[in-house]
């Protein structure tokens, strides 16, 4: 972007204390923007974090040192009350209901590109910027601007999935300076500029919380509730008549999206668990059940009966389905001009979790809800997670998996 002499655009960079946001700030400064660094403190409780994987104080200090090195203003803001209300409480509610949320997606929608954006605008900013590995392009047609959210060029770091709930207004105010770079190039720039974060490891775990012991985190509000683990055989009759035909209509997709239904009487008791709300479909670790030829995987959880259903091996039929459902109210179009009307469908590429390779599929709009079918069966389709839809490199829509 070329910067004119009459106006120097102001951008507030979310400095996290990591190398990516540090380099994002440097690149914007080098391009001629008026840059302000802002660190968001969103979490106080260190009791559930593992060692010092993501201590906010260290990150804040690193962000301050980077800002001083670059010669830009720096502030710290405490958004912990909002973060608890919009993210943490949401997580607890979702797990309690037997769904598996993605707090990082919500964190971007609710915190970084909503609350943080409003703070930035209050400081007179034209834009906010982050260290996400994604890109934005803007096109105009008849005076109307359309903002396109594109994958990051580094295939191993693409983070467009985490931004799948952003809207056109948020994208209009957003910049992603490192989206066209490889991670190795980002570190090279940081080294060349003498930034303290150049060799810093990438943060892991929940957005702004860090790497946590998830059961301990959930147990802050979701108390242990011992129940039974039931193994379902791969040869159970419920798997004898799955939907295996071609998916050519929305009715076909709806049938294929129906999940397996289990009762305790269908399987063999394998032991006890500490609470069905602590587990998720596809989970292998944490069951503490041995003595089976193949590893046990969670194929379903029932928080009403407090039962976990498991099956042997990652090819267990209970793990695989051809389609999923997205409720109409939980379907979000990053590109609203591409939204489907009832009866319409669109070929897309999709992923149902971060880092999953894109899968070929079709999004169908029924009279009420949406259905996403895949050319190949998908493993561990999980309620509460986000499915992101792409056309080529562009992320066009996303939705919460209802079943």
- Please state the CATH superfamily assignment of the domain spanning residues 10-218 in this structure: HUPs (3.40.50.620)
The pLDDT tens digits of the residues spanning 275-321 come to 898 898 999 988 888 888 999 999 999 999 999 999 999 999 999 99
CA 258-262-267 angle, 5° bins: 145
- Please state the CATH superfamily assignment of the domain spanning residues 227-318 in this structure: Adenine nucleotide alpha hydrolases-like domains (2.30.30.280)
User: What pLDDT was estimated at residue 80?
Assistant: 81
Instruction: Give catalytic residues, as residue numbers.
Output: 107, 207
Stated pTM of the model: 0.90
Kindly tell me if the per-residue pLDDT of 190 is higher than 70: yes
Q: Was domain 321-401 assigned CATH 2.40.30.10? A: yes
Q: How confident is residue 50, by pLDDT bands cut at 50, 70 and 90?
A: very low
Kindly tell me if the per-residue pLDDT of 185 is higher than 90: yes
Q: How confident is residue 215, by pLDDT bands cut at 50, 70 and 90?
A: low
Q: How far is CA 138 from CA 15, 74, 171, 370, in A?
A: 25, 29, 9, 28
Q: Which residue has the higher pLDDT, 241 or 338?
A: 338
Q: How far apart are CA 338 and CA 191, in angstroms?
A: 42
Q: How far is CA 293 from CA 24, 289, 290, 311, in A?
A: 50, 12, 9, 11
DSSP annotation of 385 reads P
What residues does each domain of the chain span?
A: 10-218, 227-318, 321-401
User: What pLDDT was estimated at residue 4?
Assistant: 46
Which distant-in-sequence residues (6+ apart) come within 8 Å of 337 by Cβ?
Answer: 146
Kindly tell me if the per-residue pLDDT of 214 is higher than 70: no
Q: What is the DSSP string of 250-272?
A: HHHHHHHTPPP---GGGSEEEEE
Kindly tell me if the per-residue pLDDT of 56 is higher than 80: no
The pLDDT tens digits of the residues spanning 116-167 come to 999 999 999 999 999 999 999 999 876 789 999 999 999 999 999 999 999 9
CA-atom Rg of the chain in angstroms: 23
Q: How far apart are CA 55 and CA 375, in angstroms?
A: 43
Kindly tell me if the per-residue pLDDT of 243 is higher than 80: no
Six-digit token string for 31: 């391009």
> Residue 328, Cβ neighbours under 10 Å: how many?
14
């Amino acid at each position: 972007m070329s910067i004119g002499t009459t106006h120097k655009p102001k951008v507030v960079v979310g400095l996290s204390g990591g190398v990516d946001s540090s380099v994002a700030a440097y690149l914007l400064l080098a391009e001629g923007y008026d840059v302000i660094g802002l660190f968001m403190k969103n979490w106080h409780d260190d009791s559930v974090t593992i060692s010092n994987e993501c201590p906010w104080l260290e990150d804040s200090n690193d962000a301050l040192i980077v800002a001083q090195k670059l010669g830009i203003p720096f502030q710290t803001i405490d958004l912990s009350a909002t973060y608890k209300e919009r993210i943490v409480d949401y997580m607890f509610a979702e797990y309690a209901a037997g769904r598996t949320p993605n707090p990082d997606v919500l964190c971007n929608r609710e915190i970084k590109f909503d609350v943080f954006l409003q703070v930035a605008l209050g400081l007179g900013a034209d834009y906010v910027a982050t260290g996400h590995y994604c890109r934005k392009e803007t096109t105009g047609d008849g005076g109307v601007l359309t903002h396109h959210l594109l994958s990051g060029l580094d295939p191993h770091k693409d983070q467009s999935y985490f931004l799948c709930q952003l809207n056109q207004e948020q994208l209009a105010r957003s910049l992603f300076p490192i989206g066209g770079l490889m991670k190795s190039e980002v570190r090279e720039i940081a080294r060349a500029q003498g930034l303290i974060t150049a060799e810093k490891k990438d943060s892991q775990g929940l957005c702004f919380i860090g790497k946590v012991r998830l059961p301990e985190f959930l147990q802050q509000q979701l108390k242990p509730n011992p129940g039974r683990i039931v193994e379902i055989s791969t040869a159970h009759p419920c798997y004898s008549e799955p939907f295996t035909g071609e998916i050519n209509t929305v009715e076909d997709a709806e049938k294929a999206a129906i999940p397996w239904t289990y009762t305790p009487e269908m399987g063999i008791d394998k032991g006890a668990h500490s609470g069905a709300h602590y587990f998720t479909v596809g989970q292998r670790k944490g069951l503490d059940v041995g003595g089976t030829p193949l590893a046990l995987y969670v194929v379903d959880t029932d928080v009403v009966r407090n039962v976990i259903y498991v099956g042997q091996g990652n090819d267990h039929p209970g793990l695989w389905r051809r389609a999923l459902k997205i409720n109409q109210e939980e379907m979000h179009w990053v590109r609203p001009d591409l939204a489907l009307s009832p009866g319409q469908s669109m070929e897309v590429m999709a992923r149902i979790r971060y880092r999953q390779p894109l899968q070929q599929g079709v999004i169908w709009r029924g009279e009420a809800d949406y259905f996403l079918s895949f050319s190949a069966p998908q493993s561990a389709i999980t309620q509460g997670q986000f499915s992101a839809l792409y056309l080529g490199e562009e992320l066009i829509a996303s939705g919460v998996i209802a079943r």
